[in-house]
A and B are shown apart, each in its own frame.
Chain A
Amino acid sequence: NAGVMQNPRHLVRRRGQEARLRCSPMKGHSHVYWYRQLPEEGLKFMVYLQKENIIDESGMPKERFSAEFPKEGPSILRIQQVVRGDSAAYFCASSPPGGLGYEQYFGPGTRLTVT
């Protein structure tokens, strides 16, 4: 059973460009979570999605950031007009339906560098 997949693993964007980060959950998992890790910080919760629904986006910055988890295909975290402060590692996690919310399986992360 493949684990949580994230791509790309490394992404370089110039200031003002858009960044799209993809996350494919484990097979059978319908809950996806995004976390951000700033340099020398722990991971911080951003958003919790189920298929076609945003359940909790309380950790998302109010502007430029959006997330979706369509019926088909991976979850996407989109950052518009990136700034240097967006440089971080972005981790995706997934959990099965009906499972305990805290039992999350993490992907390897996408490291975003904004130049």
Chain B
Amino acid sequence: AQSVTQLDSHVSVSEGTPVLLRCNYSSSYSPSLFWYVQHPNKGLQLLLKYTSAATLVKGINGFEAEFKKSETSFHLTKPSAHMSDAAEYFCVVTKGSGGSNYKLTFGKGTLLTVNP
């Protein structure tokens, strides 16, 4: 069994300030973890993924996330927010390997607002 908890439903930052979106997971297996972004009326876009290689993962648009097994966390960060980062962000967990790793388990999402 696996689950994801996104600790904030809404995060508001000013342009140029750091972004932190928090995610904790629970998994009976060695997990693979992802962050997806959804802009209004668009499909989900993969930002980055952790699949048991380096624990600090770099993604697109300057985002990165660190897998911390001891804390069961996979927080998403960006040093400096841009207006175009305003969107909804989903943390996702699945089995790292083996059967049914296609069953992605999504968090409820964090809406990021960027103020000018």
Contact = CB atoms under 8 A, between A and B. Distances in A.
Interface of A: 3-4, 9, 31, 33, 35, 40-45, 48, 56, 59, 91, 95, 100-102, 104-109
Contacts of B102: 31, 33, 48, 56, 95, 101-102, 104
Given A42-B90, A102-B32, A91 B44 contact: yes
20 contacts: A9-B41, A31-B102, A35-B104, A42-B105, A42-B106, A42-B108, A43-B44, A43-B104, A43-B106, A44-B106, A45-B104, A59-B103, A91-B43, A100-B101, A101-B94, A102-B34, A102-B102, A102-B104, A106-B44, A108-B43
Nearest to B36: A106
Contact of B41 (A45, A102, A108): A108
Contacts of A31: 102
Contacts, number: 57
A43 B90 contact: yes
Given A106-B44, A108-B42, A109-B43, A40 B108 contact: yes
B86 interface: no
Nearest to A92: B43
A102 B100 contact: no
B4 interface: yes
Contacts of B41: 9, 108
A3 B46 CA distance: 13
A23 B108 CA distance: 24
A15 B21 CA distance: 39
A104 B103 contact: no
Given A45-B105, A108-B42, 8 more contacts: A31-B102, A33-B102, A35-B104, A43-B90, A45-B103, A95-B102, A102-B34, A108-B41
Nearest to A99: B102
Given A91-B44, A109-B43, A101 B101 contact: yes
